Structure 1
C-alpha cells in the first residue's frame, strides 16, 4: 500500500483472511461522546463559571447537530464536583444528546436565586454558541440532580429574569425538565431526613437563603420551595421527576408533594419512584430508566 496522507474514504480496507480471527461488523452509526472540559460560559463579580460539554459523534456523522440536555450538578447548593456525574450523563450523550454540566455560584458566595440565574445564562450561552457545540438551539432540555434538580425546576419555570440576562435578546426557555431526586421543598420538617440542622442558618437551605434561620421565616421557606411557586397560571414545560424510595438525603415525599401540586394545577408531569434507591446511584441509570427519560425527552422535542 502506498504511503501517503490517506483519507478514511480512500484508505483500502484490510481484507486478508487471518486464521482464527473473528470479524465484528459495524455500521458507522455507533455513538460515542467527545468531552470538552471547563468551557467558561460566564464571569460574574470575578467568579468564572464553567460547563463540562459532551458531544455525540459517530463515524458517519462526526459533527451531527443534536438536542441538548443542560444538566445542573447537585451539591446542596455548596461548591460542586462538576465531574461527579460525567460517567453517567455520558450515557445520554451516547443516545444523541449534547450534554452540558452546569457550574453555578454556590451558597458561600451568592444566595438564591443566583443558582437559577446561572443555569438560565448557561442555556443562553449554549444557544449563542449552538453551532460550535453542534446543538439544535430550539431543542433544549434542562435537568439536574438534588439541589441541581431544584435549580432545574426553577430554571424551567421562571420567565422574568431580564435583569440577570447576560445575553440580551437570547431566550433561556426549554422544552422539558428532568428532575432527579431534587431537593425541591423545605416545608416539611423531615424534608432532609438525616440532617440535624434542618432549616437552621448553617443548614444547606439556610445558607442558600443568605445564612438565615428558616424555622421562623415562612416567607423564605415558601420562596425556596418549588411547589409553593406553582399555580394554575404557571407556565411550566413537560416535567419528569425521578426519586428513590429510600433517599436518606432528600425525602422522597418532597417529590410527591411537587408532583401532586403540578397535577392539581393541570401541568404535564410524570413521577417515577425508584424502589429502594438512595440519593442517586446506578438505579437511576439502568437501561429501563434511561429508556423512560430518553422517551420523555423525545416526546418533548417531537423527535
Structure 2
C-alpha cells in the first residue's frame, strides 16, 4: 500500500506539471486592461517570507451597483509542482471575469517548500482575503465558487467540505473571515490517498468528510484516468449520495487531462452551467 500510495502521488506530480510555467518574478503587481475586464497579477494575500502567497485577480470593469459572484481557481500539480501561471488557469480566470465573475487564481506553497497541510491552509487564506476585500471588489460573500483540477480539485473540495472547526485554517491572515465556499467544481479529483503515508490522514482528504452538510459539488472524471482511478471517484460520489449530499457527477471518455484537451467541448459548458445555476443572479 505504501508503494502504491507513493506511486499515486508521484503520478499526480508528473501528470500535472508538464504544462506548468514559471511564476512571475515581478516585485509589484502588474495591471493589464482587456475590453471589459481588468487583470492584476501577483497580489499578496498573506504577508510573510513565502513567495507563494500570491494570487492573480480578474474582474469586470463595468461594475454598477450589484454585487457579483466570485470564483477561486486552484491549480493542479500533484501538490509538489504546478503554478497559477499555467495557460489553462490564466485563460479560465479571464473567461469567467468576462462572464461577470470576480475571479482569483491562487498560488500556494508546494510540498517542497512546506509539508501538508500547508497547501490547504494557503487556499483557505486566499478565500479569506477575498472575503476581506469583498466590499471594494463588489463581491457577494454568499456567492463564492471554486474550481480545481487534480491536486487543485482536492484543494477545491477541501474548501467546500471543511469549516473553521476542522483545524485547517493555519496561522495566516484574515482569520476573522470565513474560508468556506458556496459551490465546488472539481476535475479529476483525488478524494483519498493510501492510509499508510504521512500525507494520507483522513482529515486532509474529502473522503474524511462524508456528509450532507456541504455546498453543491460537481465532480468530473475521465474513464481512463491512470492517476485518479474512476472507481474511487464513483465510490466517493455514491457515498455522498447515500447521505443525501447535493452532488453532481460527469464521467467523460479520456484520461487525467480532461480539463486541458480531450473533452473541453463537454466539460467546459457543464462547468459553466453548474456555476451559473448556483452563483449567477
TM-score norm. by structure 1 comes to 0.70
Quickly say closer, same or farther: Cα 1:131–1:222, change in 2 above 3 A. Answer: closer
Q: Distance in 2 between matches of 1:226 and 1:72?
A: 16
Kept in 2, the 8 Å contact 1:230–1:261? The answer is: no
Higher relative contact order (CA 8 A, sep 6+): 2
Distance 1:284 1:43, change over 3 A: farther
Q: Give the deviation of 1:153 after TM superposition.
A: 0.7
Question: What are the residue-to-residue correspondences of 1:184-199 with 2, within 5 Å?
Answer: 184-187=191-194
How far apart, in 1, do the equivalents of 2:217 and 2:35 lie? 27
Q: Which of 169, 174, 179 in structure 2 is aligned with 1:167?
A: 174
Give distance in 1, aligned partners of 2:254 and 2:126: 34
Cα 1:32–1:249 shift into 2, 3 Å:
farther
Distance 2:154 2:105 in 1: 15
Residue pair 2:69, 2:280 contacting (<8 A) in 1 also? no
| Aligned position for 1:264 | 242
Could you give the per-residue CA deviations for residues 125-184 of structure 1, whole angstroms, max 9, x where no partner exists? 011112343422221112211101101111211112466452132112221111111222
Output the aligned Cα RMSD: 2.8
1:46, CA displacement in angstroms? 4.4
Cα distance change, pair 250–219 in 1 and its aligned pair in 2 (3 A): closer
Alignment map for 1:100-179 (pairs within 5 Å): 100-159=104-163, 160=165, 161=167, 164=171, 166-179=173-186
- The one-character-per-residue Cα deviations of 1:41-60 (angstroms, maximum 9, x if unpaired) are 013454551111111345xx
1:226 corresponds to: 206
| CA 1:144–1:284: 2 relative to 1, 3 Å | farther
TM-superposition CA deviations, 1:184-223 (whole Å, max 9, x none): 2224xxxxxxxxxxxxxxxxxxxxxxxxxx6x45993544
Go from structure 1 to structure 2 and tell me whether the alpha carbon gap of 1:129 and 1:135 turns closer, same or farther (over 3 Å shift): same
Residue-pair matches, total? 242
Equivalent residue number for residue 281 of structure 1: 260
Q: Identify if the C-alpha distance between structure 1 residues 67 and 284 changes in structure 2 by more than 3 Å, giving closer, same or farther.
A: farther
Distance 2:46 2:271 in 1: 29
Unaligned runs of 5+ residues in structure 1 are 1-29, 188-213
In 1, Cα distance between the equivalents of 2:235 and 2:198? Answer: 17
Give the match's secondary structure for 1:282: coil
Equivalent of 1:67, from 66, 69, 81? 69
TM-superposed CA distance for 1:298, in Å, is 2.8
Checking the alignment, whether the CA contact within 8 Å between 1:117 and 1:155 is kept in structure 2 is: no
Q: Give the CA deviation at 1:278.
A: 3.8
Equivalences for residues 16-95 of structure 1 within 5 A: 32-57=36-61, 61=63, 65-84=67-86, 85-95=89-99
TM alignment of 1:3-14, pairs within 5 A = none
The CA deviation at 1:36 is: 1.1
Report the 3-state secondary structure (helix = DSSP H, G, I; strand = E; otherwise coil) of the residue aligned with 1:43.
coil
Alpha-carbon distance between aligned partners in 2 of 1:89 and 1:45, rounded to the nearest angstrom: 26
Q: Whose Rg is larger?
A: 1
For residues 268 and 128 of structure 1, the distance between their equivalents in structure 2, rounded to whole angstroms, comes to 28
Q: What does residue 246 of structure 1 align with? A: 224
Question: Residue by residue, what CA displacement relative to the aligned partner does 1:275-296 show, whole Å, maximum 9, x if unpaired?
Answer: 235423134543x533322332
Contact 2:116 2:199 in 1 (8 A): no
Q: Would the aligned equivalents of 2:60 and 2:101 in 1 still touch at CA under 8 Å?
A: yes
TM-score by length of 2: 0.75
